[in-house]
């Protein structure tokens, strides 16, 4: 998916996406679990890449408390407006428009990265790497951004490998096709859910390779993979 079509797609569907991101059954537990996997302490700094409408931000804020810092980054203006409105009550949560694959993004991230800013303790990216041209390079950049003892956490929906996978995967394939522009095509030369799976496999494998596992598990009938690693 190109940058322009991703921004156009999420811009147009920001409102609907926000409802799905917050209200899908089981999603709140998953977001809480992903935030916990970031191993944050009160006062820490966490950056969320591709934060969308900000559904993870309250859980991250809960972890770092009032003295910590939460920075959400996304390149789609309309989703960021929702994220900003949803977190307006917190003065230590900021959302920035920028490309998560071109770091550093903005003065806040640069300031946090320096020793004076205490460094970035964790990076979280949920349902994002499948959209990136080079997810492995992005994972490398995020690992470099947190540095030694920092944590990187990925959560993504990919094909289930459970024994009951076929019907679950059929539903999943339909969701991917419907949420991958152009949504009107029924036949693809390169089926988007297979390409998506490859990207997600590669990103999670890279994180496992670069870090020591703190969490590696599946949720929602095996469709959602959650991998977290501590950098050495
Ligand atoms: C499926 S949504 C996930 C949003 C959020 N992480 C969540 O869990 O609800 C993917 C988001 O990633 C953003 N995105 C994709 N590629 C990006 C990039 N290179 N830089 C910044 N944001 C990006 C899109 O704008 C979209 O808001």
Give Cβ neighbours of residue 92 (< 8 Å, ≥ 6 apart).
Answer: 61, 64, 66, 67, 68, 69, 70
Query: For ligand 1, is residue 221 a contact (CB within 6 Å)?
Result: no
Which of 13, 21, 103, 128 has most ligand 1 atoms within 8 Å of CB, for mutation?
A: 128
Q: How far is the CA of 163 from the centre of ligand 1 (A)?
A: 30
SS3 165: helix
pLDDT above 80: residue 193: no
Question: Where does the pLDDT of residue 176 fall: very low under 50, low under 70, confident under 90, or very high at 90 and above?
Answer: low
Q: What is the 3-state secondary structure (H, E, C) of 58-71?
A: HHHHHHHCCCCEEE
Cα atoms in the Cβ-side hemisphere of radius 13 Å centred on 171: 10
Give me the residue spans of the domains in the chain: 3-231
Separation between Cα atoms, residue 157 and residue 149, nearest integer Å: 27
Q: How far is the CA of 75 from the centre of ligand 1 (A)?
A: 7
Q: Which atom, in ligand 1's list, is nearest to the CA of 73?
A: 21
Phi and psi (nearest 5°) for 66? -70, -20
Separation between Cα atoms, residue 116 and residue 45, nearest integer Å: 12
Q: How far is the CA of 182 from the centre of ligand 1 (A)?
A: 18
Residue 23, pLDDT score: 85
Q: Summarize pLDDT for 108-149 with one digit per residue, the tens.
A: 777 777 656 569 999 999 999 999 999 999 999 999 999 899
Which of 26, 48, 75, 105 has most ligand 1 atoms within 8 Å of CB, for mutation?
A: 75
Question: Where does the pLDDT of residue 7 fall: very low under 50, low under 70, confident under 90, or very high at 90 and above?
Answer: confident
Query: For ligand 1, is residue 153 a contact (CB within 6 Å)?
Result: no
Q: In what order do the strands lie in the sheet with 93-97?
A: 93-97, 69-74, 45-49, 122-126, 151-157, 224-231, 211-219
Q: Summarize pLDDT for 24-57 with one digit per residue, the tens.
A: 888 899 999 999 999 999 999 999 999 999 999 9
The CA radius of gyration of the chain, in Å to the nearest whole number, is: 17
Q: Is omega for the bond preceding 104 within 30 degrees of 0, making it cis? A: yes
Query: For ligand 1, is residue 226 a contact (CB within 6 Å)?
Result: no
CATH 3.40.50.1820 fits 3-231, yes or no: no
Q: How far is the CA of 128 from the centre of ligand 1 (A)?
A: 5
Residue 179, pLDDT score: 60
The mean predicted confidence, pLDDT, of the chain is 87
């Amino acid at each position: 998916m190109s940058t322009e079509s991703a921004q156009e797609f999420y811009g147009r569907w920001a409102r609907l996406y926000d409802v799905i991101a917050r209200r899908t059954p089981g999603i709140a537990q998953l977001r809480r679990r992903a935030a916990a996997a970031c191993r944050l302490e009160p006062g820490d700094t966490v950056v969320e890449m591709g934060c969308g409408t900000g559904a993870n931000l309250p859980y991250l804020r809960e972890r770092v408390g009032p003295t910590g810092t939460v920075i959400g980054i996304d390149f789609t203006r309309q989703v960021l407006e929702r994220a900003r409105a949803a977190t307006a009550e917190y003065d230590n949560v900021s959302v920035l428009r920028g490309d998560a694959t071109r770091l550093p993004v903005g003065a806040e991230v640069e300031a946090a990265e320096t020793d004076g800013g205490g460094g970035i303790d964790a990076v979280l990216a949920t349902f994002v790497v499948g959209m990136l041209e080079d997810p492995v390079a992005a994972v490398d950049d995020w690992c470099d951004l947190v540095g030694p003892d920092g944590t990187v956490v990925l959560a993504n929906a990919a094909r289930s490998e459970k024994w009951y996978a076929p019907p679950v995967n059929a539903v999943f394939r339909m969701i991917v096709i419907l949420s991958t522009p152009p949504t009107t095509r029924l036949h693809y030369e390169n089926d988007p859910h297979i390409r998506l799976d490859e990207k997600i496999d590669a990103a999670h494998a890279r994180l496992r390779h670069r870090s020591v596992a703190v969490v590696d598990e599946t949720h929602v009938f095996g469709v959602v993979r959650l991998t977290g690693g501590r950098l050495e």
